Amino acid sequence: MIVKEKYYEIVDEVLANDFKGKIAVDATLGKGNDTEKLLKAVGENGKVYAFDIQDEAIDFCQEKFKDVNNLEIFKTSHEYIDILESYDLVIYNLGYLPGSDKKIRTNAMSTVISLSKATKDINPCGILIIVSYMGHEGSEEERTGVERFLKSLDQKLFKVEKREFFNEINNPPIVYLVEKKL
């Protein structure tokens, strides 16, 4: 498929690049679907760190990944991503965990704080994937904050791409891709 219609097809397209042995971060662990993809992308010689603030997500994933040795899960907000020194790949799948409490969701302030730290600390040629949804409380403010921040990134230092499903109805997600230049 050349033209995509699902956000995860864009994620998969990015992860099809060679990240073997690299360090990846899942900034919004949830049920661990993205973490699973990151683990596959970095391989057994790589490392994945994951953040979530919600017990349900943490408990679920601790069980799901109990036999995985190269994953470390932090029960803290991704705004503290600077507990890590550097990494090569970060994914933010923003919003709330489907089927869970919609009040536990990412928000403009902590997301932008996290993005600002991550763009500073990510290694050269590192990639950030940000998936943004609309339609829930705070989503518009969060997207505005994310876009304002990404727009402010110096084009000499970062490439930023915005991918949207242009003819889809019902608030399709937008995927932003950021690459730190060498």
Ligand X SMILES: C[S@@+](CC[C@H](N)C(=O)[O-])C[C@H]1O[C@@H](n2cnc3c(N)ncnc32)[C@H](O)[C@@H]1O
Residue 149 CB, shortest distance to ligand X, in Å, is: 15
> Binding string, 44-63, against ligand X, x = CB under 6 A?
-------xxxx--x------
Q: Which is nearer to ligand X, 23 or 108 (CB)?
A: 108
| Contact status: 105 vs ligand X (CB under 6 A) | yes
Phi-psi region of 125 (alpha: psi -120 to 50; beta: other; left: phi over 0): left
SS3 content of the chain, % helix, strand, coil (to 5): 35, 25, 40
Q: Nearer Cβ to ligand X, position 38 or 122?
A: 38
Tokens matching residue 7: 């956000």
Does the footprint of ligand X cover residue 116 (CB under 6 A)?
no
Burial of 103 (0-12, 13-18, 19+ CB in 10 A): exposed
Place of tokens 């060679």: 18
Interface pattern 65-104 for ligand X (x via CB under 6 A): ------------xx--------------x-xxx------x
